[in-house]
């Protein structure tokens, strides 16, 4: 609609936002005294799923049926799940030929970055780039 004036448009951004808000009102907070047994059960199920998710490690290594080893990262998905364990999904990051490769990849992902100086000592920050011919002051 390039080149059209605002008056020529059949809608405006404000009108569209207003229609969306009217069509999908936010859920109102329900006090514990007013909630139905279904709402209470749903709230407790979600809380249990979140507790399970927080307690689980961030990554896991699994042996696949085809002989490969997979490195996985956890994700929370409570939609349609009835148990807390089922709400924690383990999505594959990578496949490896053996456990050692998967562990190496996990160490690469989860470990902190280590910087060394010219003498091979651990330092807090990466060494400054040495000034070359273009960076010389004269």
Residue 13 lies in a domain: no
Tell me which of 58 and 10 has the higher pLDDT.
58
Residue 16 lies in a domain: no
Mean pLDDT of 32-53: 89
For the chain, how many structural domains are there in total? 1
Partners of 47 in the beta sheet? none
Residue 83 lies in a domain: yes
Q: Is residue 12 classed as helix, strand or coil in its secondary structure?
A: coil
Q: Is residue 97 classed as helix, strand or coil in its secondary structure?
A: coil
Residue 21 lies in a domain: no
At 18, is the pLDDT very low, low, confident or very high (cuts 50, 70, 90)?
A: low
- Chain segment 84-95, per-residue pLDDT in tens: 999 999 999 999
CB atoms within 10 A of CB 34: 9
- Chain segment 97-120, per-residue pLDDT in tens: 999 999 999 999 988 888 888 888
Residue 114 lies in a domain: yes
Residue 68 lies in a domain: yes
Residue 111 lies in a domain: yes
Q: Which domain holds residue 79?
A: 37-123
Mean pLDDT of 48-74: 95
């Amino acid at each position: 609609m390039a080149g059209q004036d605002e008056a020529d448009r059949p809608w405006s951004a404000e009108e569209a936002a207003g229609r969306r808000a009217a069509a999908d009102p936010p859920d109102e907070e329900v006090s514990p005294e007013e909630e139905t047994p279904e709402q209470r059960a749903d709230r407790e199920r979600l809380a249990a799923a979140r507790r399970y998710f927080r307690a689980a490690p961030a990554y896991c290594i699994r042996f696949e049926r085809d002989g490969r080893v997979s490195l996985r990262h956890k994700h929370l998905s409570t939609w349609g799940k009835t148990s807390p364990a089922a709400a924690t999904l383990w999505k594959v990051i990578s496949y490896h030929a053996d456990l050692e490769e998967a562990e190496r990849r996990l160490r690469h992902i989860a470990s902190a970055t280590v910087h060394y100086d010219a003498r091979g000592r651990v330092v807090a920050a990466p060494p400054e780039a040495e000034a070359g011919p273009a960076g010389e002051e004269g």
